[in-house]
Amino acid sequence: MTHDKRLGKTRFAALVTTLVLALTFLFPTGAFALTTNKATARPNEKGGSGVIGGLDTRLTWEGTVEGGEQVSSIVLTLPGNGSFDGASTKITALEGLSRANVEGEATAAGNTLTVDFSEPVSEGLLLRLEVEGMRFPSEGGDIVVSGTYVNQSGEQQLADSKPIKTIANTALQQMVAALDASPAVEAWNSNPFLGMFFKPQLMLTALFSLVPGWLLCLMIVVIAYPFAIILGLIFALMKISKHPLLRGIAIVYINILRGTPLFLQIYIMFFGLPMMNINIDNNVLGVIVIAINASAYLAEIFRAGIQSIPQGQYEAASSLGMSYFQTMFSIILPQTVRRVIPTVTSDFITSYKDTSLLSSVGVMELMMFSKNLTSVSGNMTPYVAAAIFYLVVTLPLIKVVTIVENRMAHAERGGGHRPKAKTAAAQGDSQDESSAAGTAVHAEALEPEASTMGSALTSLSPATAQEV
């Protein structure tokens, strides 16, 4: 019986200990005499809101001294190659909303900053350290500010701050920093117009930042245009068809799409389909809208090209026993393609520029990227950078269209190389040479006869010769 009582007491004591430990774990009583409230950094990205490692910025650290404690010094530590060297530190202590008189001295040594207070900071005060000119690690990442502090019990571990997201200091950021330090760039930016539309630092940043949006523009138009060509050719054939129903469908399709703005078509597709519980990815829907809109214009281009072929081509094919489809796909369309290449290329340029309208419905293409960058920087340079990306594609295509049109016009005027004509001329020259050679041989053959005739005439009497 006594043994059972002892065993029961032991179990009861173990249960109480377990409960105490559990309550301590669930409701901590302040493991640190100095609680880290937060640590934040001021953005130092030109034209952005990010914190770039390796560049000067400002770190603001805040902590609260817990009850019954006094803190005499604090040491803040950065990971990696972060540095406090050359930084200035402002110390602020708040008791409620009132500022307390707290003084101290800050000493920087590489990635550590030591703040020694002239008098221990008493309980309940909010300490704020503003470190101007410090640098986070250049490799970037989620940076945690750690460290230690000293109270009446000695050195204690400081609670880590929440991670501060830092951008890696890339070659681009280094070039931007070099431009920031250039007196020539500073003088350039002092001009209101140049500084607003052609700021070098922001232009460099924008050219790199807008690449994803530019690639998406190219992807949308390159994927959409083959489908637009197929649809345009189908509706062009339908419009010149002899069947009234096919002609009517083609006319309605082409006139509606050509008669309404692309902007309106985009809104109908992007906001109308979700109302019908038809949800399509924005990029895919952008491809569909561009393809459908371009197909209406291509249908008219192909229709005009087909009808520009002389009627004699159809009659000649019919006389050879060719069907309508054989005539169209073997004779008419190959000639049509050659004639409409410049116009189709111009329409491709228009469709590429029209992808900018997709930014109004949230597609992250070139204009959306430049719009976001402009709203953050308050400068128009990102829009100028976007114009450069458009011109990189449109100017070479415009040059190609001009060259093709000039060559086609030159060929229609009878210019250009004519291999067959040269061959015929060469054959004519050889025939002339052969004819001349034959004439010479014939003359040589007649010379003996002429001499014989002359001798015969000489041998005749004068009277006979006169008669002859």
Residues 150 and 194 in one domain: no
Residues 82 and 117 in one domain: yes
Centroid of chain to Cα 310: 45
pLDDT for res 19 = 55
User: Is the separation of the CB atoms in 123 and 68 below 8 Å?
Assistant: yes
Sign of CA dihedral 459, 460, 461, 465: negative
58 in a structural domain: yes
Nearby residues of 313 by Cβ (< 8 Å), 6 or more positions away = 327, 331, 332, 335
Sign of CA dihedral 332, 333, 335, 339: positive
- Ramachandran angles phi, psi of 34, nearest 5°: -125, 110
295 domain residue, yes or no: yes
Same structural domain for residues 140 and 76? yes
Domain CATH number, residue 222? 1.10.3720.10
**Same domain, yes or no, for 154 and 222?**
no
pLDDT at 114: 95
User: Hunting for tokens 């309106």 — which residue is that?
Assistant: 264
Output the tens digit of pLDDT for each of the chain's 468 residues. Answer: 445 555 455 565 556 555 544 544 444 444 457 888 889 999 987 666 789 998 889 999 999 988 878 899 999 999 999 999 999 999 999 888 788 888 899 999 999 999 999 988 888 889 999 999 999 999 899 999 999 999 888 899 998 999 999 988 888 888 888 898 899 999 999 999 999 999 999 999 999 999 999 999 999 999 999 999 999 999 999 999 999 999 999 999 999 999 999 999 999 999 999 999 999 999 999 999 999 999 999 999 999 999 999 999 999 999 999 998 899 999 999 999 988 999 999 999 999 999 999 999 989 999 999 999 999 889 999 999 999 999 999 999 999 888 988 888 787 776 656 555 444 444 555 455 444 444 443 444 434 444 433 443 333 333 333 332
- Are 108 and 91 in a shared domain? yes
Q: Considering the domain boundaries, does residue 201 fall inside one?
A: yes
Any idea what the Cα angle at residue 323 is, between residues 320 and 329, rounded to 5°?
100
**What domain range includes position 121?**
34-166
Per the structure, the count of domains in the chain is 3
Asked whether residue 438 is assigned to any structural domain, the reply reads no
The per-residue pLDDT for 436 is 44
Based on the fold, state whether residues 109 and 242 are members of the same structural domain.
no
Residue range 269-278, pLDDT digits in tens? 999 999 999 9
Q: Both 186 and 105 in a single domain?
A: no
Query: Which of 142, 159, 165, 161 shows the shortest CA–CA distance to 51?
Result: 165
Is 368 domain-assigned? Answer: yes
What are the CA-CA distances from residue 455 to residues 342, 450, 459 (Å)? 79, 9, 6
Residue 182: exposure state from Cβ atoms within 10 A (0-12, 13-18, ≥19): middle
Closest CA to 164 of 195, 135, 122: 135
Verify that 203 and 215 share a domain, yes or no.
no
**Are 396 and 379 in a shared domain?**
yes
- 71-77 vs 98-100, strand pairing mode: unpaired
Instruction: Looking at the structure, tell me whether residues 276 and 189 fall in a common domain.
Output: no
What are the pLDDT digits (tens) for 202-249? 999 999 999 999 999 999 999 999 999 999 999 999 999 999 999 999
Q: Within this chain, do residues 123 and 192 fall inside the same structural domain, yes or no?
A: no
